[in-house]
């Protein structure tokens, strides 16, 4: 039974993790308080909380990173505890101490431990002294990695292939680390591009119990940020598995760790090396929850209330937990894999996407909790109608499959992604499907450079031209059917009815960068399209027959946007208008913002000569920077933006006049 220690918990976070923590709190009978920025006013996590407190502003620096405002919100709302989630202030020792100083319960490790592990330099020193194997750099050996001592998420990291790059890489990493974490300290370690990134989940109380809840492989990463995580780690020996868990337990003992945490390692050629310790809940915690039968948020709360870990707090059966000899959870059941669904375009330098989520549906067995049996779990930040802006991380959801073995888990997860309905913003769903189908991934031959090495292959169009054509046919026929139904004249006559064959009509669509024109005609009440038989059309969808195979397509029309769900998953199309508004044209040579963003850097001035590929403007959206480069040699005719300015998608950033060498002018 939950004690009176936590009766009303404020979640100092947003999005998916705020919803996740609140889900467990509701199960335990604990009231919840949300804090929200102006950009999140109508977000699902705000609506679902019992109480919500506004943090004025939109940027994280003015809201979710303001510890003083969050503590004030806890006091004004009557909260008696704060759960930090992950990211933002979750590993900020000063914030943790401020929570305790305010007389509130901090659902996390001790501030001193957070401070020790918050500096990666200090953390390595402590672990080395405790006998935990640590990766150390050797002078003159390349490649190496320049890395921020504070923070994470891939910020403040630079790979250096040779001595000529070292000074500039250090300077760039220091600047990025200072901007992201307020601490420009960096250090250097060997870069192991084909190593495995494997982490161990730990949980410890103040009564001498330490649980080691298996390991997770997190090797599939983009820009040092995880994309796919799974447990148990495939393809490692029992000896490596034992050394990982023993090293994690030693790390816990070295800092008297309390609460849920993760000890991260690199594994290369059976050599295990400490990477860092995350003093918080991890994004990928659901895979551990599925396999080990625990609710880590519930256990975090139990530890914060100074209760001893016990088998009645979630784990399914007792085993020895090593040195303590106390009871702990069972050895794990089956295999679980999580993928992160992002609003981004992997084929376009991971460009973050913005817009309104029009549909967001997964066939999930549960949301925010472990399925009763094997199945699919979805932890999501959004619902249909949610706005995706520029201020925060672009992760939309985590989709988790749990099955008796890894092969079945991969198949189950592929099916969940294939049948998802996600529309309104471009996502990485197709990339995730390609990863799960790759031979090396399927056989467990993974490493931290695999995604970079296969990116071009994994982002190749997954649909053939014929498949895209049938999606566009479905869109065109539903729009034609709906247009006829809306007509005032002859609306009772079937949409495709003609006494004699009609001349073809056309509709044109844009799918990504590709334009597709669909020609259709009507004959005696039926639509006719070359290359495919039209079986049925109504306002909701189309059934087509192609080479003897019937396919069903569900279609939703939203202005110029058309959302189609077909045999190979969701697809967004845009209708090309028959006539173009002259006001929508822009000057030749204009560089446009692909998404709403903040201008981080203007690298040139009007009148400057630039070369093709030279940086003109750097934009920042969703914590990621995107470089806008000159498409050709030329002269900067105009700069239309300034640093720190907010711009909308399609805004003109600069105009480049193509440069003609003086000797070739006429």
220 touches 451 (CB < 8 A)? yes
Cis previous bond, 232, omega within 30: yes
The 8 Å CB, 24+ separation contacts for 237-243 are 237/270, 239/270, 240/267, 240/270, 240/272, 241/215, 243/272
Tokens of 17: 């993790």
Tokens of 230: 């799974």
Separation of alpha carbons 512 and 363, rounded Å: 26
Active-site residue, 216 included: no
Q: Which of 243, 280, 326, 406 is catalytic?
A: 280
**Alpha-carbon Rg of the chain, whole angstroms?**
27
- Distances, alpha carbon 69 to alpha carbons 6, 50, 73, in Å: 21, 19, 6
Q: What region does 508 belong to: left with phi over 0, alpha with psi -120 to 50, or beta? A: beta
Biggest distance spanned by C-alpha atoms of the chain: 89
CA 614 to chain centre: 29
CA 41 to chain centre: 21
- Distances, alpha carbon 300 to alpha carbons 85, 204, 585, in Å: 11, 9, 56
Question: First-to-last CA distance in the chain?
Answer: 87
512 touches 524 (CB < 8 A)? no
3-class SS letters over 394-431: CEEEEEEEEECCHHHHHHHHHHHHHCCEEECCCCCHHH
Residues labelled catalytic: 280
């Amino acid at each position: 039974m939950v004690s009176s220690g936590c009766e009303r918990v404020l979640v100092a976070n947003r999005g998916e993790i705020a919803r996740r923590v609140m889900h467990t709190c509701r199960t335990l009978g604990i009231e919840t308080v949300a804090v929200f920025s102006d950009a999140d006013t109508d977000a699902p996590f705000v609506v679902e909380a019992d109480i919500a407190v506004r943090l004025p502003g939109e940027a994280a620096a003015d809201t979710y990173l303001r510890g003083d405002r969050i503590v004030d919100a806890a006091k004004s709302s009557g909260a008696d505890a704060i759960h930090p989630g992950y990211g933002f202030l979750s590993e900020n020792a000063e914030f943790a101490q401020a929570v305790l100083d305010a007389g509130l319960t901090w659902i996390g490790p001790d501030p001193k431990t957070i401070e020790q592990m918050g500096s990666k330099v200090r953390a390595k020193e402590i672990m080395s002294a405790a006998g935990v194997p640590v990766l150390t750099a050797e002078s003159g050996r390349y490649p190496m990695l320049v890395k921020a001592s504070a923070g994470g998420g891939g910020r403040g990291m630079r790979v250096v292939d040779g001595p000529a790059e070292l000074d500039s890489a250090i300077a760039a990493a220091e600047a990025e680390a200072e901007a992201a974490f307020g601490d420009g300290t960096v250090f250097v370690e060997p870069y192991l591009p084909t190593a495995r990134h494997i982490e161990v989940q730990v949980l410890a109380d103040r009564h001498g119990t330490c649980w080691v809840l298996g390991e997770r492989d997190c090797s599939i990463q983009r820009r040092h940020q995880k994309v796919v995580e799974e447990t148990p780690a495939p393809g490692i020996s029992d000896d490596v598995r034992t050394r990982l868990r023993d090293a994690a337990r030693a790390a816990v003992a070295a800092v008297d760790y309390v609460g849920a945490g993760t000890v991260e390692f690199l594994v290369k050629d059976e050599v295990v090396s400490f990477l860092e310790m995350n003093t918080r809940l991890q994004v990928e915690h659901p895979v551990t929850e599925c396999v080990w039968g625990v609710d880590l948020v519930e256990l975090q709360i139990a530890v914060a209330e100074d209760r001893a870990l016990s088998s009645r707090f979630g784990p399914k059966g007792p085993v020895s937990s090593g040195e303590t000899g106390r009871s702990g959870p069972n050895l794990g059941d089956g295999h679980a894999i999580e993928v992160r669904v992002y609003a981004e375009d992997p084929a376009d330098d991971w460009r973050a996407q913005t817009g309104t989520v029009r549909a967001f549906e997964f066939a999930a067995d549960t949301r925010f909790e472990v399925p009763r049996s094997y199945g699919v779990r979805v932890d999501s930040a959004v619902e249909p109608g949610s706005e995706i802006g520029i201020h925060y991380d672009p992760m939309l959801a985590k989709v988790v499959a749990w099955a008796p073995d890894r092969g079945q888990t991969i198949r189950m997860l592929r099916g969940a992604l294939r049948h998802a309905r996600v529309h309104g913003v471009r996502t990485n769903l197709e990339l995730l499907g390609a990863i799960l189908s790759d031979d090396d991934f399927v056989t467990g031959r993974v490493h931290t450079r695999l995604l970079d090495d296969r990116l071009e292959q994994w982002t190749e169009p997954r649909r053939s031209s014929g498949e895209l054509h049938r999606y566009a046919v479905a869109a065109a026929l539903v729009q034609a059917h709906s247009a006829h139904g809306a007509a005032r004249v002859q609306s009772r006559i079937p949409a495709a009815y003609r006494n004699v064959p009609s001349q073809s009509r056309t509709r044109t669509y844009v799918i990504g960068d590709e334009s597709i024109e669909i020609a259709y005609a009507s004959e005696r009440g039926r639509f006719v399209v070359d290359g495919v038989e039209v079986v049925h059309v109504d306002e909701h969808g189309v059934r087509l027959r192609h080479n003897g195979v019937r396919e069903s397509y569900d279609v939703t029309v939203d202005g110029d946007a058309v959302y189609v769900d077909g045999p190979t998953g969701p697809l967004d199309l845009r209708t090309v208008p028959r006539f173009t508004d002259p006001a929508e044209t822009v000057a030749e040579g204009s560089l446009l913002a692909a998404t709403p963003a903040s201008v981080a850097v203007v690298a040139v001035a009007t009148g400057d000569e630039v070369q093709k590929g030279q940086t003109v403007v750097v934009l920042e959206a969703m914590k990621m920077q995107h470089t806008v480069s000159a498409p050709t040699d030329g002269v900067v005719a105009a700069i239309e933006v300034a640093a720190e300015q907010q711009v909308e998608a399609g805004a003109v950033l600069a105009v480049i006049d193509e440069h003609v060498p003086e000797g070739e002018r006429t």
